Structure 1
Amino acid sequence: MAQELRRSLGVFDAVVIGLGSMVGAGIFVALGPAAGAAGSGLLLGLALAAVVAYCNAMSSARLAARYPASGGTYVYGRERLGPFWGFLAGWGFVVGKTASCAAMALTVGAYVWPGQAHAVAVAAVVALTAVNYGGIQKSALVTRLIVAVVLAVLAAVVVSSLGSGHAEFARLELGDDASAGGVLEAAGLLFFAFAGYARIATLGEEVRDPERTIPRAVPLALGIALVVYVGVAVSVLSVLGADALGRSVAPLTDAVRAAGADWLVPVVRVGAAVAALGSLLALILGVSRTTLAMARDGHLPGTLAAVHPRFQVPHHAELAVGAVVAIVAATADVRGAIGFSSFGVLVYYAIANASAWTLDSRSRWSVRVVAVVGLAGCLVLAFSLPVSSVLAGAAVLAAGAVLYAVRARA
């Protein structure tokens, strides 16, 4: 029998870990590309991404309460739809989120020391892998500190932008530059910033009283993140306008500079680096737990299923994930990571919603409506992403399917 992980997370820590995954680097980097796609329809794209994220969150919470084990949708797909769909979800999550880990590490490097971004990225991966190795409680404590810093920085951006006199709310109105296709593409890109609530479900084996804790923590984390995102998006868009925001590679920095608060620029840079560290910490946690679950079922080497006798963490999986992410961060480019990650995660949640459809429930009608809306939304947004992201994501999923078929035949 596989050794289980220690249940030590309550509602507060679960919410904080979800927030650390969401209110992180996504809001610092995703607004620019989304505005470039949707123009003045950016807020519509954010609303659409939030609706799909809500459906996914509710489906995931119900499934996590039923199956409180490490692995998230890998476990739900396996139990509700069959081994292949569970494997496909797990494969897409591990590969896509490994690339996201490298992107977040490179974001840290770009803000801390642009000339040595790769070296700083590798150092960040090594440091956070060591934190995770020491136990889930240490990870939760570090995440609390990161979330507090990031929320303070984002609040400063909102207040300085809206109170500067440079904000023009007419820039929030829909213009001729907004199209249905652009709004859908923006929603797919902005979904990248919402996807972190899955970490709560992925850590289901380390949550106390999961049937009560997870259904509470997931919507709480998502709701707080949505309020923060709306505030930041409105303030930045009202100061920069859709065109300037779409061209910006550092939209929050440009917004405070345009608002005349140049003194905030270094603060925002530090906040972005800390936010990326928070996202990276939570991402490594989630990928290592899914790796653990897949190793338990024989889809990955069995040694990755080992649990540390003292710290009660999947230490072999964490070390392996950290090593792979460090190698990718040392050699890769951050471009395209958002679209690639969004495609893989949207497919992952499509399988989660399909799994939730099969659940028996007293409120069967409402459960199925949420699952259907979530499933349809995930597929529409996934195939509305840039073509390069769709092709790369589809190729990764196809490679996983071939691997599964070869292993099954062997």
Structure 2
Amino acid sequence: MANAGQQIGHLERGVGLWGALSTNVLNMVGVGPFLTIPLALAAMGGPQAMLGWILGALLALCDGMVWAELGSRIPNSGGSYHYLLRAFGPKSLGKLMAFLFLWQSLLVGPISIASGAVGFADYASVFHPLSATHLKLLAMALCMVNMAVLYRSIRSIGILSVVVTVVVLATCCWIILSGFTHFHPATAFDFPPHAFQISHAFWLGLGSATLIATYDYGGYNNVCLIGGEIKNPTRNIPRAVLFSIMIVAVLYLAMNISILGTLPWREAQHSRVIVADFMQAVHGAFAARVVSLLILIASWGSAFAILLGFSRIPYAAAANGEFPAIFAKVHSKDHFPTVSLLYMGVASMLMCLFSLADLIAGLIVIQTMLQFLGQCIAVILLRRQSPPGPGSFRMPLYPLPALVALLGWLYIVATSQMKHIAVGAGLTVAGTVFFLIQANRAREWPFQKA
């Protein structure tokens, strides 16, 4: 598919550890936890929803070790595309697995970006009531602004990430301290009758709460998507992945317990802007508006970081000759992928036409079915092919973390609604058919001549 006349450039390794870590944290701490705490409470019917956050943190840590080893071993922009291709065979099944990752990323990327933008617009309504049309236009405008901000050198983006991350962490600390100073154990641990009774409904509720938690924890892999732009990647990629998970897990758990210890869960589960309601109860209306402004900054930063990461995936595939060469075009001066960035930005604007619930609904299930399950297997296959090189990260207790992550993702899919599973399955079938048609035309695997 490559055009012989197309200039394919190389990315610059201009992001250090702090830039990489802040990019991950920005991706993880967006508007998600400020909107989804009520969803988790409703899923389990009480503060026992904290189990979902704890299970989500465990799954994120185990899966993070998978990402850390793969990212340290294959530090290329595009992340999973390269991991799946190499693990499953670049001339056999790996071609299909890598293509399916690319296939789903063309939809998952814009959906992920749009979910942050739509959440931003929802929280903006705290300051002024907005119609449904105005909310969609505001979300689309945010995507456009982020596309413009990212249309520049990666060095300045790394500095910007650090600045916004400081704002995000300060906001989280304010929420946590406010909660701890007004904490009431009887409110936090007001479990309904039979809250921990093991039943089919309990496991379904726990699965839903864990899915919500993994959506909010998601983003620790962002540094792997820009692996070709990370300095000293064999050390900095694993550090950025694992440190970001630990930081955000502590923040999330502390924020949850702080809010649950102040707002009765029966009231909180119906809130659309739970942190604003929390600050209103603790400090009054002015604090509620200030924290809402800070959350808007956080949600902007999250959408910004997701666009940064996903804009590198089509570039990586095109640079490898597996996608139209126009996506491999980089800026002649600042060395960033131009066409790939513009595609993700425009597509995310279109996705803003859907509601936040619609965007979140199938996101985790689709990624799990077409990417996360395959990666847990990929890290084991690569270990069998050859051990990690000198200085590369090796997951502790191998292969236990990979197996725990694999079981965790299977549990989330098994407890999801059938319509979401059907979307993931349909996307897989459609992608496989498209791949086979293209492979047959090019007489490539599995149609190559013996």
TM-score in terms of structure 2 length:
0.85
Distance in 1 of aligned mates of 2:313 and 2:319: 10
Match of 1:271 in 2: 294
Return 5+ residue gaps in structure 2 as ranges.
1-6, 89-93, 197-201, 389-393, 442-450
Aligned counterpart in structure 2 of residue 305 of structure 1, from 304, 311, 328: 328
Distance in 2 of aligned mates of 1:398 and 1:350: 16
Aligned residues: 409
Change (3 A) 1:301 1:172: farther
Change (3 A) 1:388 1:235: farther
Match of 2:434 in 1: 403
Equivalent position amino acid for 1:79 in 2:
R
Contact 1:89-1:351 at 8 Å conserved across structures: no
Match of 2:145 in 1: 127
The 5 A counterparts of 1:371-390 are 371-390=402-421
Change (3 A) 1:264 1:304: same
Equivalent position amino acid for 2:439 in 1:
A
Match of 2:64 in 1: 57
Q: Does 1:26 find its partner at 2:57?
A: no
Contact 2:76-2:82 at 8 Å conserved across structures: yes
Q: Does 1:75 find its partner at 2:93?
A: no
Q: Which has the larger radius of gyration?
A: 2
Q: Once structures 1 and 2 are overlaid, which stretch shifts more, 17-26 or 175-184?
A: 175-184
Q: Does 1:151 find its partner at 2:169?
A: yes
Aligned counterpart in structure 2 of residue 333 of structure 1, from 322, 342, 355: 355
The 5 A counterparts of 1:224-243 are 224-243=247-266
C-alpha RMSD over aligned residues: 2.2
Distance in 2 of aligned mates of 1:392 and 1:29: 24
Match of 1:117 in 2: 135
Distance in 1 of aligned mates of 2:260 and 2:79: 35
Match of 1:323 in 2: 346
Contact 2:66-2:395 at 8 Å conserved across structures: no
Q: Secondary structure at the match of 1:372?
A: helix
Equivalent position amino acid for 1:151 in 2:
L
How far off its partner does 1:300 sit? 3.4
Could you list the per-position Cα deviations for residues 323-343 of structure 1 after superposition, in whole angstroms to 9, with x for gaps in the alignment? 1112222x2222232232221
Q: Does 1:343 find its partner at 2:365?
A: yes
Contact 2:187-2:264 at 8 Å conserved across structures: no
Distance in 1 of aligned mates of 2:400 and 2:8: 36
Q: Once structures 1 and 2 are overlaid, which stretch shifts more, 338-347 or 204-213?
A: 338-347
Contact 2:13-2:229 at 8 Å conserved across structures: yes
Query: Which has more helix, going by share of residues?
Result: 1
Equivalent position amino acid for 2:28 in 1:
M
How far off its partner does 1:215 sit? 1.4
Match of 1:87 in 2: 99
Q: Secondary structure at the match of 2:189?
A: helix
Match of 2:222 in 1: 199
Match of 1:252 in 2: 275
Change (3 A) 1:34 1:401: farther
Equivalent position amino acid for 1:354 in 2:
I
Q: Once structures 1 and 2 are overlaid, which stretch shifts more, 104-113 or 213-222?
A: 104-113
Change (3 A) 1:393 1:366: same
Structure 1 consecutive aligned stretches of length 4 or more whose deviation exceeds 4 Å? 172-175, 362-365
Distance in 2 of aligned mates of 1:47 and 1:350: 21
Match of 1:141 in 2: 159
Q: Percent identity of the aligned residues?
A: 25
Q: Once structures 1 and 2 are overlaid, which stretch shifts more, 298-307 or 125-134?
A: 298-307
Could you list the per-position Cα deviations for residues 119-166 of structure 1 after superposition, in whole angstroms to 9, with x for gaps in the alignment? 222221111111111022222222222222222222222222232366
